[in-house]
């Protein structure tokens, strides 16, 4: 009798656990639903909605909201203002990322070696990066003021210039001034990432290279740099993606001027959205910016993966 009764009980328990989501696995999925909904609300929906708006002529001025297909992208292709901002954004991204990576690597190598007051120097290094970007923009606006700026005063005293230079008010100097401000602010972040990468390199390898008679540059080039390359590439990828979205530094310091010489895709889309209220055309600019950044991310990511596989 006990054996007869045991079969239905086992069968019923098996039936209860059958199905796509067993009862034991169902609560974790339910707990993840709020996270999925939140991510969809703040990430997926804005992208989809922006893509839809880019296919319309939505404007708060004319009160139009009609589907126009790829008309906005056709206008974008022939818009010199867009290409001007696109070119400035790429120049800013390439120059700032390369300079911050190289200078950050040099700072990381210096801070990796122990010396008196090393902890204080490492903490002080993060001050520029911790400062809000608006504060940095205002500070550099005062430093590089064309009439009463400290930079012009010091350069005049040293004799490097004969007259005041209009740094961010000149078409020739405005973009380079913004790039310099971004390098000053963000280089400590790159140095911090690369310093963490240096600490992952086994000290025994460096000691073995020194015992074999390796010089400082040879040890860096043949031992440290190959092992640091994955960290270096990933840090450069993160920085490039962040630099491509630059907005606050440009908007506060120059506003995209003078004569659109510092206009970036972020500042241009902001002006189209909130100055002309052309949501359709502004969404097309934002979509083009998103596609460009996605291409950079995919290309850089494939390069990083290839280098990491080559390094083993």
Per-residue pLDDT of the chain (312 residues; tens, 9 = 90+): 444 444 454 444 445 445 555 555 567 778 888 888 888 888 888 888 889 999 999 888 888 888 998 999 999 999 999 999 999 999 999 999 999 999 999 999 998 888 888 888 888 888 888 888 889 899 999 999 888 889 999 999 998 888 888 898 888 889 999 999 999 999 998 999 999 899 888 888 888 888 888 888 888 888 888 888 888 888 888 899 999 999 999 999 998 888 889 999 999 999 999 888 999 999 999 999 999 988 988 888 888 788 777 766
Superfamily of domain 74-311: MetI-like (1.10.3720.10)
The pLDDT assigned to 203 comes to 84
What burial class does residue 246 get, using C-beta atoms within 10 Å of its C-beta: 0-12 exposed, 13-18 middle, 19+ buried?
Answer: buried
Cross-strand pairs, 64: 59
The pLDDT assigned to 269 comes to 93
The pLDDT assigned to 211 comes to 86
- CB-CB contact of 130 with 118 (8 Å): no
Cross-strand pairs, 67: 56
CA distances from 111 to 42, 121, 194, 196 (A): 39, 8, 10, 11
The pLDDT assigned to 217 comes to 85
**Both tokens assigned to 228:** 């640091």
Q: Which residues contact 297 (CB under 8 A, 6 or more apart)?
A: 237, 241
The pLDDT assigned to 19 comes to 52
The pLDDT assigned to 113 comes to 84
3-state SS assignment for residue 305:
helix
Residues belonging to the chain: 312
The pLDDT assigned to 218 comes to 87
Name the residue ranges covered by the structural domains of the chain: 74-311
Say how far apart CA 227 and CA 106 lie, in whole Å.
16
pTM: 0.84
The pLDDT assigned to 146 comes to 85
């Amino acid at each position: 009798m006990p054996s007869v009764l045991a079969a239905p009980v086992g069968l019923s328990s098996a039936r209860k656990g059958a199905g796509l989501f067993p009862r034991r696995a169902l609560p974790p999925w339910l707990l993840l639903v709020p996270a999925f909904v939140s991510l969809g609300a703040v990430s997926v929906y804005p992208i989809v909605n922006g893509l839809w708006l880019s296919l319309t002529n939505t404007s708060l001025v004319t009160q139009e909201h009609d589907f126009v297909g790829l008309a906005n992208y056709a206008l974008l292709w022939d818009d010199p203002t867009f290409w001007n901002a696109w070119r400035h954004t790429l120049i800013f991204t390439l120059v700032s990322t390369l300079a911050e990576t190289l200078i950050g690597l040099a700072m990381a190598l210096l801070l990796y070696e122990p010396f008196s007051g090393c902890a204080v120097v490492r903490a002080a290094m993060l001050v520029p990066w911790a400062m809000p970007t608006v504060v940095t923009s205002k500070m550099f606006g005062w430093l590089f003021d064309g009439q009463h700026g400290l930079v012009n005063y010091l350069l005049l005293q040293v004799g490097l210039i004969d007259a005041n230079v209009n740094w961010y008010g000149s078409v020739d100097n405005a973009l380079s001034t913004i790039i310099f401000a971004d390098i000053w602010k963000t280089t400590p972040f790159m140095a911090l990432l690369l310093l963490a990468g240096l600490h992952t390199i086994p000290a025994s390898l460096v000691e073995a290279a020194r015992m074999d008679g390796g010089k400082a540059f040879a040890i860096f080039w043949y031992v440290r740099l190959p092992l640091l390359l994955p960290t270096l590439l990933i840090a450069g990828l993160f920085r490039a993606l962040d630099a491509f979205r630059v907005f606050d530094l440009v908007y506060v310091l120059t506003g995209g001027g003078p004569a659109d010489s510092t206009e970036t895709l972020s500042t241009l889309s902001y002006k189209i959205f909130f100055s002309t209220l052309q949501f359709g055309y502004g969404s097309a600019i934002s979509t083009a910016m998103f596609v460009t950044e996605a291409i950079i991310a995919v290309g850089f990511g494939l390069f990083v993966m290839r280098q990491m596989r080559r390094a083993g």
